[in-house]
Amino acid sequence: MEYLQTYRNYWKELSHIENILATLHWDLEVMLPEAGYEERAEQISYLSTLYHKKYISVELDDLMGNLALQLESADLEPQEKFFLKRELEVLSRERNRAKKLPEIWVKEFSKLTNLAHGIWAEAKQKKDFSHFSPTLKKIVAMVQEKAELYGYTTEPYDALLEDYETGTKASDLEKLFVHLKNSLIPFINQFQTFPNPFQKKIAKELQANFCSKLPPMLGLPKNSYRLDVSLHPFSTSLGANDKRITTRYFENEPFSSVFGVLHETGHALYEFGLKDMKGYPSALSVALSYGIHESQSRLWENQVGRSRPFWEYLYPTLLKEFNIYHYDLPFDKLYNYINSVSKSKIRVEADQVTYNLHIILRFEIERDLLSKKITVDELPQIWNENMKKFFDLEIENDAEGVLQDVHWSGGSFGYFPTYTLGNIYAAQLFHTFLDTHQSFWEDVRTRGDFSSLLKWLKKNIFQLGKLYSPKELIKQATGEEPNSNYLIKYLKGKMRELG
């Protein structure tokens, strides 16, 4: 296999550039002095272009071609051969897609969306969709063009989904989402809202101290991550043993930071687990999809982090670190609050139940826009009608309606559904895990021991990287294809428990 080492080295260089880019981004979000922003953007653009050139290069074409020729007759272990074959397949498919967008389209789209961001922000401030709609029409037209460039069999939305959730079609989502929607909407008023039980502000330092205990407790090694502060919480990988997560602290709402850390730790654990895949770093030992990534953050945030045993274990530590007496923060009030559900007009303020309805609303609109069943001008009306149907809420103006999210101004269509896909996967995966690990809740409640879950995720998710499609992975791990029943069951269980 004379080409294998050259190919591996080539991939290692690409992986270096990717990690360096992550460092530049992380620093931009967390550290950068304000005046350094413009030049940092240039540095990122320079290095991204370098990456792209190296990624679609003829040199890599040749390397992969030669490798494929040698592969059949090569003296390799069957598993290694299987991995390598699959790696070449996945990489070929992804590179072919990357080559389908002409440079001129990419540049124009980047210019348009950069401009659109400012116009969207103005429109939102003016609460006036008509200020944004001419720009959004251009964006939708270019996204439709993108779908044609990529190509599709059934409908244009499928082409876009492929960027985020390979192998999953709009019709798959429809099946999952319609069931979820129909199962939640009739019960939406039976979920209870509970008040914030904190009677005083919790200083940022106290929150930070408590939060710092969470990632190592869940299984992220102390010497391999940092926890910092940024405007919007995120998680990123700067190297196999260098994961960075961020959160933000509100003194009036101390659990915002706590759940931010649980969520981002979930992402980081997945990224950290990928390095144990055979052949790391390779084109297979990377995160499989946005939906699978989100399933890992949601599983730790919701299934684990909003459970009773989890807080039974952490309650004494929380009281101590936050300097609160137990009679000022009774356990049940805290637990109810953590699982509180309330209808909001705003997606980012939504809870684990209603969040999914916000997503489904967006998915339906995006899909119909792409298929030209609806037009940009109709969006505010459709949005407001659906908010009434889903939540019985009246939208007063576009800022709290169709203009609330930044995503469309950036040209992201097909991304929203991965949030709810993540929730669906998380509930399904966790259900399967619990079925075979009956002592888990007791391990958590008494010792804060999550090791059996982490081990199961490593085996069934982390170490498989991009070996299978998301659909296949879920089927292998749980015995069936993605199914929203488990999420519905989980949420209705909470409803009954707290109702």
**Residues classed as catalytic:** 264
Contact assessment for residue 292 and residue 265, using Cβ atoms and an 8 Å cutoff: no
Six-digit token string for 389: 């149907």
The CA distance from 277 to 457, in Å, is: 13
Total residues at the site for a copy of itself (CB under 8 A)?
A: 31
Stretch that binds a copy of itself, among 62-70, 233-241, 352-360, 473-481 (CB under 8 A): 233-241
| Among positions 223, 231, 325, 496, the unique one binding a copy of itself when judged by CB under 8 A | 223
Q: Give 6 or 344: the residue with its C-beta nearer to a copy of itself.
A: 6
Cα Rg of the chain, angstroms: 23
The minimum distance between CB 394 and a copy of itself, in angstroms, equals 43
CA–CA dist 184, 172 (Å, integer): 19
Of 68, 240, 287, 382, the one binding a copy of itself (CB under 8 A) is 240
- Give which of 308, 309, 336, 300 is closest to 423, Cα–Cα: 300
Residues 6+ apart with CB under 8 A from 217: 448, 450
Selected from 158, 242, 271, 321, the binder of a copy of itself by CB under 8 A is: 242
From the CB of 454, what's the least distance to a copy of itself, in Å? Answer: 17
Query: Is the separation of the CB atoms in 248 and 256 below 8 Å?
Result: yes
Binding mask 30-69 for a copy of itself (x = CB under 8 A): -xxxxxx-xxx-xx--xx----------------------
When the beta carbons of 6 and 183 are compared against a copy of itself, the nearer one is 6
Under rule CB under 8 A, residue 225 binds a copy of itself: yes
Residue 226 CB, nearest approach to a copy of itself (Å): 6
Give 227's strand partners.
245
Cα 345–Cα 348–Cα 354 angle in degrees, nearest 5: 60
Peptide bond into 281 cis (omega under 30): yes
224/469 with CB nearer a copy of itself: 224
CA 16 vs CA 12, 50, 465: distances in Å: 6, 12, 18
Residue 16 binds a copy of itself (CB under 8 A)? yes
With respect to a copy of itself, which residue has the nearer C-beta, 237 or 484? 237
Q: Of 174, 421, 445, give the one whose Cα is nearest residue 298.
A: 421
Local structure of 377: helix, strand or coil: helix
Segment interacting with a copy of itself, rule: CB under 8 A, options 223-231, 319-327, 409-417, 424-432:
223-231
Contact 319/311 with Cβ under 8 angstroms?
no
Structure tokens at 183: 């199962």
Indicate the Cα dihedral angle 359, 364, 366, 371, nearest 10°.
160
Backbone angles phi, psi at 369, to 5 degrees: -60, -50
Q: Which of 495, 497, 496, 492 has the alpha carbon at shortest distance from 182?
A: 492
Could you say whether residue 206 binds a copy of itself (CB under 8 A)?
no
> With contact defined as beta carbons under 8 Å apart, do 123 and 403 qualify?
yes
Which of 154, 241, 323, 375 lies at the binding interface for a copy of itself (CB under 8 A)? 241
Q: Which residues pair with 226 in a beta bridge?
A: 244
Q: Which of 6, 19, 192, 469 binds a copy of itself (CB under 8 A)?
A: 19
Site string (254-293) toward a copy of itself, x via CB under 8 A: ----------------------------------------
212 is an interface residue for a copy of itself by CB under 8 A: no
Please report, for residues 57, 188, 287, 291, 365, the alpha-carbon distance to residue 296 in angstroms, rounded to integers and kept in the order given.
33, 26, 11, 9, 27
Instruction: Output 199 or 223, the one with its CB closest to a copy of itself.
Output: 223
Nearer to a copy of itself, 47 or 393 (CB): 47
Considering the complex, state which of residue 285 and residue 483 has its C-beta at the smaller distance from a copy of itself.
Answer: 285
User: Which two tokens mark 184?
Assistant: 């939640």
Q: Nearest distance from residue 24's CB to a copy of itself, in Å?
A: 6
Cis peptide before 78 (omega within 30 of 0): no
209 binds a copy of itself (CB under 8 A): no
What is the closest distance, in whole angstroms, from the C-beta atom of residue 211 to a copy of itself in the complex? 16
Among 1, 4, 20, 206, binds a copy of itself (CB under 8 A): 20
Q: Binding of a copy of itself at residue 239 (CB under 8 A)?
A: yes
Does position 107 interact with a copy of itself (CB under 8 A)? The reply is no
In the bound complex, what is the minimum distance in angstroms from residue 23's beta carbon to a copy of itself? 6
| Residue with smaller CB distance to a copy of itself, 43 or 485 | 43
**Residue ranges that bind a copy of itself, judged by CB under 8 A:** 13, 16, 19-20, 23-24, 27, 31-36, 38-40, 42-43, 46-47, 221, 223-226, 238-243
